[in-house]
Amino acid sequence: MLYRPNHLQSRRLRMHGTLVHGTLAPRLLTRHSNAGSCCAVRGCAVGLFLFSFLFLGCARRGAELGDNDPGAGKTASSDAKRTDLPRRIDAQHLPNPIQVHPRVISGGLPDGEQGFEALQSLGVKTVISVDGMKPDLETAKKYGLRYIHLPHGYDGIPDERVKELAKAVRGFEGKIYIHCHHGKHRSPAAASVACVAAGLIPRSESLAILQLAGTSHHYRGLYESARVVTPLETASLDEWKMEFPESVDLPPMAEAMVAMEHTHEQLKQIAEAGWRSPADHPDLSPAHQVLLMREHFTELLRNDDVLKESDLFRQSLRDSEQAAEGLELALRAWVATSPAADAPPPESVRRHAAAISANCKACHRQFRDVPLSEK
């Protein structure tokens, strides 16, 4: 069921994104409550390259825990296997995988079928996405994996989401893989708070997980969530009745952000190829992809929710739209000169790309990266 927030609810929820290689990306915060699913979006300036959206978690009970009770024996002091954790693990097709607990792994979006096959080989039974993108349910089921969709943003993890994550890692059988998009920011934070709240690891280890994963200190809300989380009463966790959706419906603006993510991914590849069509994707035209990005900005400015936002926010989108238009024109003019294969892009290309990057950083500081406790 699609939740349609009222005006006040819309303003309290945020669009989230990530800055990659100095570029702009929107942010998304979605929430799911006990009463049902709730997804709302507030935009932030968007840029050329990449989003990061999502989340995973894992848990095992039974023989591995030494008790039939899903919560019994799940403490860091009684788990001799935890002496070398958290640590990186070798898992191809899983971005930035971190073993947080013997039953919980944090990482990025599985890379196609090979990624889900890797999860299966690791003994994972449940995949928890904390990203805004819709989970690949079909491929997951092909490899016997259950998907849970519990998205959160870069400004921190709400208390209700902490409870849901803790309930999941405590109660689900088998290993749990918690993922966002790249596995660097939201998923390690989610895995950290989930395991601390569920009593699987001590609070003293929470920040080490984010540091090992490379979580940016610009995401103060994520670090704050990991710093203040405390263990929940196990009896209460076991008693709480929660629904765990395999996929959460997003409102129109969030759907637009997902489409932008796809364009960002392609633009990142183009930029890394010197603003030419990548060798492994000759079908991607740089100017055309920038045109698509500009259209994303244009459509967002027509969105009813965006029209309710501050003048500063809307101006940020307009600035990005204009920069994208300038970048498109610069690319088309450069291509018209038939540049040599090793010729660098002109200064105008770099200037417009830098403008979007600067706009992104300013927008993130003002709208996305402010911790929940300061809003």
Least confident range from 127-141, 142-156, 170-184, 243-257: namely 243-257
Could you read off the pLDDT of 168-215 as tens digits, one per residue? 999 999 999 999 999 999 999 999 999 999 999 999 999 999 999 999
Residue 271 confidence (pLDDT): 93
Contacts of 185 (CB under 8 A, 6+ apart): 18, 52, 154, 213, 215, 216, 219, 222
**DSSP codes of every residue in 134-187:** PP-HHHHHHTT-EEEE---BTTB--HHHHHHHHHHHHHSSSEEEEE-SSSSSHH
Of the pLDDT bands very low, low, confident and very high (cuts 50, 70, 90), residue 68 is very low
Of the pLDDT bands very low, low, confident and very high (cuts 50, 70, 90), residue 133 is confident
Could you read off the pLDDT of 25-52 as tens digits, one per residue? 333 343 333 333 333 334 333 343 333 3
Amino acid at 17: G
- Summarize the confidence of residues 68-80 as an average pLDDT: 40
Please determine, for residue 120, whether its predicted confidence score (pLDDT) is greater than 70.
yes
Residue 14 confidence (pLDDT): 39
Among 158, 221, 230, 242, smallest CA distance to 197 is for: 230
Q: How many whole angstroms separate alpha carbon 199 and alpha carbon 213? A: 21
Residue 79 confidence (pLDDT): 47
Q: Are the CB atoms for 164 and 242 separated by under 8 Å?
A: yes
Residue 78 confidence (pLDDT): 41
Least confident range from 7-11, 112-116, 252-256, 304-308: namely 7-11
Residue 313 confidence (pLDDT): 86
Residue 202: Cβ-neighbour burial (10 angstroms; 0-12, 13-18, 19+): middle
Residue 260 confidence (pLDDT): 78
Phi, psi of 365 (to 5 degrees): -60, -40
Q: Are the CB atoms for 17 and 28 separated by under 8 Å?
A: yes
In a 13 Å sphere around the CA of 294, the CA atoms on its Cβ side amount to: 17
Among 55, 51, 56, 31, smallest CA distance to 41 is for: 31
Q: Are the CB atoms for 155 and 208 separated by under 8 Å?
A: no
Q: How many whole angstroms separate alpha carbon 38 and alpha carbon 42? A: 13
pTM of the model: 0.69
Residue 352 confidence (pLDDT): 92
Strand order in the sheet with 146-149: 87-88, 98-101, 104-107, 175-179, 124-129, 146-149
Phi, psi of 67 (to 5 degrees): -160, 145
348 compared with 50, residue with greater pLDDT: 348
- Summarize the confidence of residues 236-246 as an average pLDDT: 92
- Summarize the confidence of residues 323-343 as an average pLDDT: 94
Q: Which domains does the chain have, with CATH numbers?
A: 52-239 (3.90.190.10), 250-374 (1.20.120)
Give the bridge partners for 126, in sequence order: 146, 176
Could you read off the pLDDT of 284-300 as tens digits, one per residue? 999 999 999 999 889 98
- Summarize the confidence of residues 46-69 as an average pLDDT: 34
Residue 82 confidence (pLDDT): 57
Tokens 């030419």 belong to residue? 276
Residue 309 confidence (pLDDT): 83
Residue 253 confidence (pLDDT): 73
The mean of the pLDDT values for the chain is 80
Helix residue ranges per DSSP H, 24-148: 112-121, 137-142
Please determine, for residue 153, whether its predicted confidence score (pLDDT) is greater than 60.
yes
Tokens 């080989």 belong to residue? 121
Helices 311-336 and 347-363, axial angle in degrees (round to 10): 160
Residue 65 confidence (pLDDT): 29
Contacts of 216 (CB under 8 A, 6+ apart): 184, 185
DSSP H or E stretch at residue 99:
strand 98-101
Tokens of residue 79, six digits: 């788990």
Share of the chain above pLDDT 90, in %: 57
Share of the chain above pLDDT 70, in %: 78
